[in-house]
Copies of this chain bind each other. A is one copy, B any other.
Amino acid sequence: MTEMMEKNSFQELVIPTYEDVLAAHSRIEPHIHRTPVLTSEYMNQLTGAELFFKCENLQKAGAFKVRGASNAVFGLTEKRASSGVATHSSGNHGLCLSYAAGRRGIPVSVVVPRSAPEAKKQAMRGYGATVVECEPSTSSREEVFAEVVAQSGADFVHPYNDPRVIAGQATCSKELLEQVVELDAVVAPIGGGGMVSGTCLTLHNLAPKTKIFAAEPEQADDACRSFKAGYIIADDAPVTVADGLKVPLKELTWHFVRNHVSDILLASEKEIVDAMFLIWQRMKIVMEPSSAVTLATIIKNKEHFAGQRVGVIITGGNVDLGKLPWLV
């Protein structure tokens, strides 16, 4: 593992405000689902808390990331939009940016490692994306991506370290607060920190007493170690079933995590798969391992949440139905 200090970044941070969230919501509302909040007596009895599951797995393109991607895409001027957008992602952000760009009818390029699942690439192409393959290394990705942007003049929409993206993700908690009153806490999974940052942005403004917990795999615990150390720590290539949570914090998400998160809770691989199975079995929804880390940490830390009303963000549902982790 490599550790990277980014305390002294000289780049000026543009911190999104709650006004940006309001603008984002009215901008993206025609293009997203207002996802339902589900409850389960079984889960309440199991945890001793009252849980409210915000189901972004039922979101367009199967993930909350369509909120941030749509905010970036639909916020571009006509002129800027005509050159299209680009990103690097083998996961939900690439898919969601493709969806949003396809919906606006502008070009979109996604740089994807050659080794990524063919199904994901097909799905991106299905929304109209140009998929550009790179080798599965950071250097190749950066090189290929720079070339794509240089050639197209496309606007780079980072998966999470982008104020437009964070303002978009923040609309998820805004809806949650409209759907459920008086939450004591909200728990969201943390990878790069886009969803957690959006949650902080909304709750800090609308419900400052509601605590925010981030949930992370033990085997990709860089955010937790960053939180304790007081500066960003990035791991090179963590291995976890929660494959949406492998990426490190960046300056902008670190700003929100450092200032507004109460704690970062960890779960083992087995605890994550067990929680995922339980959600599928009892709540009848298809969701990703990354989304199960939240319930896994709540089960593991019952005493923190007992008797409380807790929002739980189910972040996505894009999973290979032929390779379920409890069947291997």
Contacts and interface: CB of A to CB of B under 8 A. Distances in A.
Interface of A: 33, 36, 38-39, 41, 57-58, 60, 62, 277, 280-281, 283-287, 317, 321-322, 324, 326-327
6 contacts: A33-B39, A36-B36, A58-B285, A281-B286, A322-B327, A327-B327
A98 B38 CA distance: 22
Nearest to A283: B58
Contacts of A326: 321-322
B38 A58 contact: yes
A7 to B, nearest CB: 40
A58 B280 CA distance: 11
A291 to B, nearest CB: 10
A121 to B, nearest CB: 16
Most chain B CB inside 10 Å of its own CB: which residue of A285, A317, A327 = A285
A38 B286 CA distance: 14
A324 B58 CA distance: 21
A324 B281 CA distance: 13
B284 A317 contact: yes
A215 B33 CA distance: 28
Nearest to A284: B317
Nearest to A35: B36
A322 to B, nearest CB: 7
